[in-house]
Structure 1
Amino acid sequence: MTLAASSHTKPRHGAGLSLSPGARAGWISALVGLVCILLAASMPWLVKWPAALTIPAAEWIGAFMDVVLSWLKPSARLFSEMLAYPMTWANVLLIATPWPIVIAVVTAIGWYLGGTRMAALGLFGLSFVLASGYWVESMNTLALVAVSVPLALAAGLAIGILAYELPKFRHPVQALLDIMQTVPTFAYLTPLLVLFGFGPVVGLIASAIYAAPPMARNVLLGLDRVEDDIKDAAVMSGGNRMHQLFLVEIPSAATQIMVGVNQSLMAALSMVIIAAVIGGFNDIGWEVLLTMRKAQFGQSFLAGLVIVVFAMVIDRMSGALAMERKRYDVRVIGILMAIAVAFTLLMWGNLPEPSAFAWFDGVADRVDAGLGAFTAANGATLDTFKNTVLFYIMLPLRIGFDNAVLPFTWGFAWTQNMSFALLGGATVLAVLLTLRGRGVAGAVVLLLAITLETGIAELPWPFVMIGTALLGWVSGGIRLSVLVTSLMGIILISGLWERALLSLYLSGVSVLACAILGGAVGLLCAVSPLAWRVVRPICDMLQTIPLFVFLIPVLMFFQIGEFSAFLAICAYAIVPMIRYTHHGLINTPDDMIEAAISSGATGSQIMREVRIPYAVPTILLGVNQTILYAFSMLVIAALIGTTGLGQSIYIALGSADVGLGLAAGFAMAILALVADRIVQGFAEEQRKALGL
């Protein structure tokens, strides 16, 4: 029984009060929290983990990695020099090739894959890049992607085949892929910086590492889905195992493998942009970072649009490769290339340099001027909106009413008597709800009161640990409880607990906002096809934008700070919540809808009593993805003023502190993994309850 379902459990007459597992877990957690708060003055170790019991995890990891990296550094530097050659060749080739031919090649590829519409996307997309004045920077970025993606695809293919052919390695490989995809992107860069030195090769290698897991997962998934009849036919044909694998099974899994190619391309592009932080390379990511630091938001926005265009072109064309659809006449490709070559030869010596096409510089200047005028005219309104959210929502959730309610914000100071009144009133209400058979609702009321009184960043560690253990037990049983408790215990004793709670606060607030707003938008799209036709392309666009670009618009209006980071995280993480909510609500079986209609239910009753309960497992998966997206964006948001683990990772990157970078990165991965497993447990339990 889930927490939601258990809230309706009624007490049995004559048998005393009967609480569901969810209610018992909530009440135990709440009582532990109350005890910690009441005893905090006399027993401060109940709130703050004793420093004497903390291990210097960052220092230990740093010392170990120093030994390992010093041993690997000569080979790594040699490998770096070897990779510099193909990257240089790709760079020279793309920059030296006349721009009409590059545009024609992309247009021709688009024609072959998707006909007129895809060709137009390639033509207008590359033309926009040329007109932006960032042609050289874009070609440098494309060169990094062109070299890193083949490395990622080869590594991913090898890993996927290994896990498929050797079942005993499957679980370790999948665990490794989970870790690689949950460790924040910046955490990759710190040890790579030490190993390979400062420069674009670091971005290349980081991109290859980050882009390999999607390929490996899709190779493994595709091979698993090959039908047994096909495998049996390959065996009966007399071929050996290599023949069966490479001539039959891999071609049969080609569609799924091409999905992996698409995901790897997008991951590599995203990582190349992030790696610009330490690359110092004249690519488009560095241009975005540089203009952001100079507060040249017009130019930064223009460079960000170039990245978005690149992402859209790469996503659409690589996505078309994964679909079994018509391929178009290759003769048109010859015509396009002939026109481009003829134009280039005709203009030889007079062909304008790409830098001459900076047609949007004036627009960027006008954007800066308009932004300045807008903020000057509406600065008070923007500040009021930001401060309202900060002072009345975010700060109380972060540090609690006890510290957030002050005379200059709320008009009065919070007192100890108010704390007693809040907790006492919540306790009375919780008991009344529980006596009325709503045990989970009562526990939630008390847990919310404890959180508001202390703040997420100041929660007592026994309360968090026991609450996590009980959540794991309710959602997945004793094994999950032991797993999540052990993982959280690692953070507790590592000296990163306070920073982890700060990260938990910001990601939690962002996920809550995404769940409310994204759920509402998904609900609207489920009842209105017109709304979905409007929202769907926006979601598609948001999912193709590299993380870096989300920082630009929030900085333009709200400057550096925690509120800007919150908005950037929400903009990136809201999409899965919208998609999964919409998908779950529109896929209710027809027979259930017909039964509800025949019983006389209204449209709103069908939504409340049929569609939403049936969609809960899917919506929970949306929450799960939203959590993972929020943690991914949390580290990027450290660039614009957050605290917690993301800031530690960014500081470690700037100081090449491998120990701190890896320790903080793994701590954030643990938080994401714990949340992922608990939410998946609730989703699986709900599916079983629905008989799915």
Structure 2
Amino acid sequence: MTDISASGSVAATGGKDGTGRTGMNGMTPGVRIAFLCVLVGAICLALSPYQAWIRTWPAALTLPATEWIGAGLTTLFEFLKPAARSLARLLEYPMAGANRLLVGSPYALTIGVFTALGWHIGGIRMAALALAGLGFVLASGYWIASMNTLGLVFVSVPLALIVGGLIGVLAHEICSLRRAIETVLDIMQTVPTFAYLTPLLLLFGFGPVVGLIASVIYAAPPMARNVLLGLKRVEPDIREAAIMNGATRSQQLLLVEIPSAGRQIMVGVNQTIMAALSMVIIAAVIGGFNDIGWEVLLTMRKAAFGQSLIAGVVIVIFAILADRMSSALARDGKRHSWKVTASILLAAVVIALFQNSALPAAQDFAAFKSAAAVIDRSLGAFIAANGVILDGVKNGTMFFVLLPLRIGLEKAVLPFTWGFQWTTGISIAVFSIATVAAIVLALRNHAVAGLSLLIATGILVTGITNLPWPFVLVALGGLGWLAGGTKLSVFAVSMTGAILSIGLWEPALLSIYLCTASVLICVAVGGAIGAGCAVSENAWRVMRPVCDFLQTIPLFVFLIPVLMFFQIGEFSAFLAICAYAIVPMIRYTHHGLTSTPDELIEAAVASGASEWQVMREVRIPYSAPTILLGLNQTILYAFSMLVIAALIGTTDLGQQIYLALGQGDVGLGVAAGASMAILALVADRLIQGFAARQRHALGL
């Protein structure tokens, strides 16, 4: 069994290049890169006390990029502003119409229409979900604010679908533009949402139109990607049949290919609706109008967590309804009786006719006002009774996990936290132990693991935010070269060097630190949960709806529970990021481990492998590409949430974006947003490169 499992593991991980094991022919590329990183890191640590430029980029070499960007965009905006303001005034008409329709319509009619739609596309369960959900919205007292939000969604979604659909068709039809369009889509989805708002405010003026346009920018890429994917997957036989029947290119596209790609396109519709709903809530920070996002933000600022929680539940209800209904429309499922649909609509019309005389006005409902007061009192009592425990969890995590990772053990280990003082002698001892362990691993043909241990030790002692910039650039360049060759290496170094040169290196390192801490927890906890769900089908039955629920909740809402118990601060931001980013790791780990071919598992079992050996030697190596993609998504999710977490007390690039929004500093906002997008893009390209190498090694 040992020989079989060992050979299977090596084959699955790409042999010497994949594992980094040394052999008779000399060092592998992985060993050379790891050794270079150790060498550069050691030189930087030795020289940094005497050469300040190693840790801090010289101010004389810092480009005034924020000023340049601000001046350039201001000049451009002055030229574009008349046209933009005209467009804003034009877009106000459909928005005002949607608001008048939804706010002015009797709530009984609105609830009836959605209930009837739910019945028609999903049966009794969907109808009950719509009725109960909108009934809660009405009873909460947030009906008017919710309809304002829904009106913005009603206008933004069609625009996003049109823009995204046209981009997807263009990318499919003009192959030479496809790569450039995909890059633009990556940028649109990786640039933080807050970064859109600063330039849009200057261009279009203050008001809900800014939220509308930002929503379209954010929600169009999912539609474009799914249209492109759907058109690429159309069977060649279908295209050939259209050509044989004399169809022109436009007829092929409109009458054959787009209908054939309908299911994938409807998935894009679902994702666009969810993205639009998430973005219009984020746009509430500009205070454009009285929508539900503004209610959440206002109650959070007042520490009225009872009302904030109820408003957050309203947002979750809209997100769940939007997700379930659009998903049902995307499926080619059975449509239910038109007679029942018509009966529900008729009943809604009848009730609406008598609403003014028989029912309270929408703004008079406040069924949960007392519940909000009870929540606040209960929360206060809970914190008073368990404040010591909560502070212990918060301070313990900060002092023993986050702070060492941020500023290093040298500065974080102090008598009042750890009980002793870190000294130079301790550093020497730690590095000596790590060196011995690295030598032992190298002698056992695990040189990369040994050198990686040395690198991790240096990072832990120094701290992520204190890492010398030459080491970071060399490490990223080396990882890029291993993952995708020279091109990816140059991309990683040049993009990261751009952040360094414009003076945003320190907040960028803070972003990397908080993202790294969150991702490590997500990988450990999410990976363990995903592996447990792969082993136990019952565990997956429990976790799947939890994952569905967490992925449905808009980012904004994750802030409410952490603020309720831990107040504003870095720890609360850390928890919110973990809660949002853990789901991809669970899903991809479960999917990867359960998609291992049965014949591989049967061969291992026939060779006498235990369940643990099958997991370690067969399932995990085979699922590595999928798990890496889960890691990629986890990192991107963490960066997305990082900007939202700036609202509750981070000091990274997200905070720079938020400050720029408050100050109207378009240069800083764009530069910080671009820097955040660069970090996300570099991480995305590196992990995709390693995943591609692993798939190639597996012959996939």
- TM-score class, shorter: over 0.9
Conservation of the 8 A alpha-carbon contact between 2:22 and 2:28:
no
* Residue-by-residue CA offset, 1:136-171 (whole Å, 9 max, x unaligned): 110000000001111111111111111111222111
Corresponding residue of 1:266: 274
Corresponding residue of 2:627: 619
* Residue-by-residue CA offset, 1:231-285 (whole Å, 9 max, x unaligned): 1121222232222211111111111111111111000000000000003311000
CA distance in 2, matches of 1:278, 1:347: 35
Letter of the aligned partner of 1:552 in structure 2? Answer: I
Runs of 4+ in 1 over 6 A off after TM superposition: 1-5
CA distance in 1, matches of 2:554, 2:291: 15
Within 5 Å, give how 1:213-252 maps onto structure 2.
213-252=221-260
CA distance in 2, matches of 1:647, 1:336: 49
Within 5 Å, give how 1:47-446 maps onto structure 2.
47-446=55-454
Letter of the aligned partner of 1:276 in structure 2? Answer: A
1:521 aligns with 2:529: yes
CA distance in 1, matches of 2:414, 2:115: 61
Corresponding residue of 2:50: 42
* Residue-by-residue CA offset, 1:585-641 (whole Å, 9 max, x unaligned): 111111111111211222122111111111111111100000000000000000000
* Residue-by-residue CA offset, 1:162-181 (whole Å, 9 max, x unaligned): 11112221111111001101
CA distance in 2, matches of 1:366, 1:495: 48
The alignment partner of 1:74 has SS state of: helix
Structure 1's 305 and 3: CA in aligned 2 closer, same or farther, altered over 3 A?
farther
Letter of the aligned partner of 1:491 in structure 2? Answer: I
* Residue-by-residue CA offset, 1:503-527 (whole Å, 9 max, x unaligned): 0000011000000000000011111
CA distance in 1, matches of 2:93, 2:624: 52
Corresponding residue of 2:572: 564
Conservation of the 8 A alpha-carbon contact between 2:231 and 2:258:
yes
The alignment partner of 1:643 has SS state of: coil
Letter of the aligned partner of 1:628 in structure 2? Answer: L
CA distance in 1, matches of 2:279, 2:526: 26
**Among candidates 582, 597, 604, match of residue 596 of structure 1:** 604
CA distance in 1, matches of 2:356, 2:490: 70
Pairwise CA distance, 1:9: 5.7
1:491 aligns with 2:499: yes
CA distance in 2, matches of 1:232, 1:10: 50
Percent identical = 63
Corresponding residue of 1:482: 490
Structure 1's 290 and 536: CA in aligned 2 closer, same or farther, altered over 3 A?
same
Conservation of the 8 A alpha-carbon contact between 2:410 and 2:423:
yes
CA distance in 2, matches of 1:424, 1:594: 45
Corresponding residue of 2:640: 632
Conservation of the 8 A alpha-carbon contact between 1:129 and 1:306:
yes
CA distance in 1, matches of 2:439, 2:68: 47
CA distance in 2, matches of 1:345, 1:142: 23
How does the TM-score come out when normalised to structure 1? Answer: 0.98
Pairwise CA distance, 1:382: 0.5
Conservation of the 8 A alpha-carbon contact between 2:129 and 2:321:
yes
Pairwise CA distance, 1:406: 1.4
Q: How many residues get paired? A: 689
CA distance in 2, matches of 1:86, 1:395: 50
Structure 1's 488 and 11: CA in aligned 2 closer, same or farther, altered over 3 A?
closer
* Residue-by-residue CA offset, 1:559-581 (whole Å, 9 max, x unaligned): 00000000000000000000000
Structure 1's 266 and 10: CA in aligned 2 closer, same or farther, altered over 3 A?
closer
Pairwise CA distance, 1:6: 5.5
Corresponding residue of 1:674: 682
CA distance in 2, matches of 1:527, 1:122: 35
Corresponding residue of 2:670: 662
**What are the ranges of 5 or more consecutive residues in structure 2 without an aligned counterpart?**
1-9
CA distance in 2, matches of 1:685, 1:626: 20
CA distance in 2, matches of 1:53, 1:446: 31
* Residue-by-residue CA offset, 1:16-54 (whole Å, 9 max, x unaligned): xx3322222112101111110111122221221111111
Conservation of the 8 A alpha-carbon contact between 1:84 and 1:201:
yes
The alignment partner of 1:130 has SS state of: helix
CA distance in 2, matches of 1:306, 1:252: 36
CA distance in 2, matches of 1:79, 1:4: 58
Conservation of the 8 A alpha-carbon contact between 1:6 and 1:23:
no
* Residue-by-residue CA offset, 1:486-540 (whole Å, 9 max, x unaligned): 1111111111111111100000110000000000000111111111111100100
Within 5 Å, give how 1:524-563 maps onto structure 2.
524-563=532-571
Structure 1's 385 and 347: CA in aligned 2 closer, same or farther, altered over 3 A?
closer
Structure 1's 347 and 66: CA in aligned 2 closer, same or farther, altered over 3 A?
closer
Conservation of the 8 A alpha-carbon contact between 1:518 and 1:578:
yes
Corresponding residue of 1:468: 476
Pairwise CA distance, 1:423: 2.3
Conservation of the 8 A alpha-carbon contact between 1:7 and 1:439:
no
Letter of the aligned partner of 1:365 in structure 2? Answer: A
Corresponding residue of 1:641: 649
* Residue-by-residue CA offset, 1:116-142 (whole Å, 9 max, x unaligned): 111111111111111111111100000
CA distance in 2, matches of 1:393, 1:246: 56
The alignment partner of 2:674 has SS state of: helix
Corresponding residue of 1:690: 698
The alignment partner of 1:91 has SS state of: helix
Pairwise CA distance, 1:417: 2.4
Pairwise CA distance, 1:12: 4.2
CA distance in 1, matches of 2:620, 2:179: 35
| Greater Cα shift, 258-267 or 233-242 | 233-242
